[in-house]
Chain A
């Protein structure tokens, strides 16, 4: 799933100028993959890291327990 997430966030971010709405676009792209994979509850945080973006994803189960963390890096903005 990491590869699919990485592809999804790169598809919307690579080649783009940084702008206020870009982190939100990246988060939405990641959430789309998570939803398709059946992960209805997640926290996606996007922040700048150097010249790129760091994407932190936390998958949460029905009892609000963290079941998995995924960290992605997007470069080439």
Chain B
């Protein structure tokens, strides 16, 4: 089981939207590297949700419940883009801010920090543990 992080502008789609709906199809990705990350996801993987533009914090943890499939929001005939199905696991009791992430020795090198425009990025085991600890969420290890 791997862990990932996805960025969303909360005024377009927020953690609260995901919780209210119970699931969503994470679509609209139009960056090849982010697309590759979506394609690498497996059912059961964890997905941290980060609020960009407003909030600037990791706010919740979701789970991949459906593997990558074609993104129907892409232009007709354009099969390059995919999305995955997500369901919420839990909100972080204490959101982990970008400021904290950039200041933390384990988190400052996170892919989404190094590549600010990458909307979907991998999260290492150490980064996962640290995010969960800072966020006050207790879960089993990601890779048993």
Q: Do A and B originate from a single complex?
A: yes
- Taking beta carbons and an 8 Å cutoff, which residues of A are in contact with B? 17-25, 46-48
A58 to B14 alpha-carbon distance, docked (Å) = 25
Task: Say which residue of A21, A23, A47 sits within 8 Å of B71 (CB atoms).
Answer: A21
Count of chain A to chain B residue pairs whose CB atoms are closer than 8 Å in the complex: 50
* Chain B contact surface mostly: loop
B73 at the interface (CB under 8 A from A): yes
CB<8 Å pairs between A and B, sample of 27 = A18-B13, A18-B17, A18-B21, A19-B13, A19-B27, A20-B13, A20-B24, A20-B26, A20-B28, A21-B25, A21-B27, A21-B29, A21-B71, A21-B83, A22-B13, A22-B27, A22-B28, A23-B13, A23-B28, A24-B28, A24-B30, A24-B73, A25-B28, A47-B9, A48-B12, A48-B13, A48-B14
